[in-house]
Copies of this chain bind each other. A is one copy, B any other.
């Protein structure tokens, strides 16, 4: 097969790779219906996160099971499945407490920007759809694999409750799906911090009630204005920089919650001002496996269309252009068709 490999900064190649095959009895082989480029892929793509060697890329995926190892019990060849970007056994104590992204046998998926994919720990990682999905919902099912699951976790970690005021810091695909998640969880007021007109429109479509274009201290002041000087109940940090994290914390009311899912890069937090803010902080790599059944059902029942974040669809072989478009912020998120 041909698949995606990152060789160095902005050097994405679509090249011959060995076909995946069952390596362990717990593996499954999937023929992918769709895959995509993640905002977090841009860190190594831009050279900010170093890679030691040519690295197969991609961790979002859905498709049809082709083959399973002898120990696999819950998924079968022919079945349409979605998996988390975190590979988990779903049986260890951490998985059982709902933190599959902290699984004792955790691996992070890579290699998914490809037509065929080997998924380890298939029983613990994959969840099937009720039936063969229509083409129309493939993009939304794909989104569940990471970007919707991560936006959902941001909202859950920020403790969004019916009637709450939520702020979303970041207008990338995760932030936008944080808006959708907050809406689905019943938030009454959803404020997105965004300066990008196209993303603002999609945020409104997903349920945002207010747009704040200011950043830093001015942005915090605007949030305070909009919340009677108190701050928001729930703030979703979907960027991962120090500036965005401080902005998120300062926008939260005392006793409120920040859910942070932006992968932190070189972030050193001064704890003194946080201490006096009295906020709850929770976040990390999203335990998408916990949410898969619920989120698949939302998509299946037509109650959520997270696939709307894909505003560029390319054949997989044009993956390099998919990265470029996101790097240059021409696209929110690129879907790749094998």
Chain A residues close to B by CB (< 8 Å): 93-94, 97-99, 101-102, 104, 228-230, 245, 253-255, 260, 263-272, 274-285, 287
Contact = CB atoms under 8 A, between A and B. Distances in A.
B275 A263 contact: yes
A305 to B, nearest CB: 29
Contacts of A264: 271-272, 275
Contacts of A270: 267-268
Residue of A98, A264, A265 most packed against chain B (CB within 10 A)? A264
A93 B278 contact: no
A128 to B, nearest CB: 26
Given A94-B254, A267-B270, A278-B282, 4 more contacts: A264-B272, A268-B271, A269-B271, A276-B284
Nearest to A255: B99
A280 B282 contact: yes
A275 B282 contact: no
A265 B270 CA distance: 9
Given A98-B255, A245-B271, A271-B264, A280 B280 contact: yes
Nearest to A230: B93
Contacts of A230: 93-94
A277 B284 contact: yes
Contacts of A278: 99, 101-102, 282-285, 287
The 4 closest A-B pairs by CB, nearest first: A102-B254, A99-B254, A278-B284, A264-B271
Q: How many chain copies?
A: 2
Nearest to A266: B272
Residue of A102, A229, A278 most packed against chain B (CB within 10 A)? A278
Contact of A267 (B94, B272, B276, B277): B272
A268 B255 CA distance: 22
8 contacts: A93-B230, A274-B284, A275-B284, A278-B282, A278-B285, A280-B280, A281-B281, A281-B282
A191 B264 CA distance: 31
A176 B186 CA distance: 41
A291 B230 CA distance: 22
A275 B285 contact: yes
A99 B279 CA distance: 10
Contacts of A268: 268-271
Nearest to A100: B254
Contacts of A104: 229
A281 B284 contact: no
Residue of A228, A255, A269, A276 most packed against chain B (CB within 10 A)? A255
